[in-house]
Amino acid sequence: MYRAMVGVAVLCGVLIVSVFEVTRPTIERNEARALRDAVLEVLPGARSSRAFVWSAGGDGFHAYRPDGEEGEMVYAGYDDAGVLVGVAVEAVGMGYQDRIRLIYGYSAVPERIVGLRVLESRETPGLGDRIEKDPAFLQNFVDLDVSLAPGGKDLAHPVEAVKHGQKDRPWQVDGITGATVSSDALASIVARSASKWLPRIRPQVADFSSKGDT
């Protein structure tokens, strides 16, 4: 009995490992392409991008090398002339049903979020999933004020969701009626990520520009 079960288990294991090895390069290529497309989409005008690693040691951002330092990454986007358009940051947080993973583009001059795309979410179809598709809602993230407070330690005004139609400040996100929880969640994911990353990116913007010749 045990011999039969172990035999079947070994066969299954070998099969899984071989399929994994065969499909891995394709899956990795797909993921890299999806990420690259997303970076270019949230940074309007960008034609190429480059990954940077945040060094936990405290000396800022380094261009990513496969054999180099591991760490949290951001993606700088450049236009045709190689001039920095902005930096794309990935963020994750809890939505209504499950985790929402998104990426947003940050432009340092002026300090704005210039684009956002939801990479992964399982919000309610027809209601919550409008955070992904609703053009009016995504318009919130085309010119969202994320200026840093004097001192540069945090945002001057935290990004916040307001009820639909009540947005009157440039740092507010006009929510979706019928998708309150999802749109609030999205805004708070952006708020949390922005107050963590932008104080790091803002003083280093020059580094992204000077390294961006590929």
Partner 1 sequence: MTEPSAPTGEDLWRGVWRDNPVFVQALGMCPVLAVSNTALNALAMGLATSFVLCMSNAVVSLLRSFIPRQVRIATYILIIATFVTVVDYLIRAVSLDLHRALGAFISLIVVNCLILGRAEAFASRHPVGPSILDGLGNGLGFSLALFALGAVREIVGSGRLFGVPLFHEGYQGWVVMILPSGGFFTLAAWLLVFNRVRAFRARAVPRAQEVPS
CB of 102 to partner 1, least distance (A): 13
Question: Between residues 127 and 138, which has the closer beta carbon with respect to partner 1?
Answer: 127
CB of 98 to partner 1, least distance (A): 9
End-to-end alpha-carbon separation of the chain, Å? 60
How many positions of this chain bind partner 1 (CB under 8 A)? 23
Residue with the two structure tokens 């027809």: 126
Could you say whether residue 34 binds partner 1 (CB under 8 A)? yes
Could you say whether residue 56 binds partner 1 (CB under 8 A)? no
Give the one residue of 127, 138, 162, 181 binding partner 1; rule: CB under 8 A: 127
Could you say whether residue 126 binds partner 1 (CB under 8 A)? yes
Could you say whether residue 94 binds partner 1 (CB under 8 A)? no
Could you say whether residue 124 binds partner 1 (CB under 8 A)? yes
Backbone φ, ψ for residue 45 (5° rounding): 95, -15
CB of 11 to partner 1, least distance (A): 8
CB of 198 to partner 1, least distance (A): 28
Residue with the two structure tokens 């990954």: 51
List the x/- string, 4-33, binding to partner 1 by CB under 8 A: xx-xxx--x--xx--xx--x--xx--xx--
Residue 151 half-sphere exposure toward CB, CA atoms < 13 A: 5
CB of 103 to partner 1, least distance (A): 14
Could you say whether residue 166 binds partner 1 (CB under 8 A)? no
CA distance 139 to 160: 15
CB of 88 to partner 1, least distance (A): 18
- By CB under 8 A, name the binding residues for partner 1: 1, 4-5, 7-9, 12, 15-16, 19-20, 23, 26-27, 30-31, 34, 120, 122, 124-127
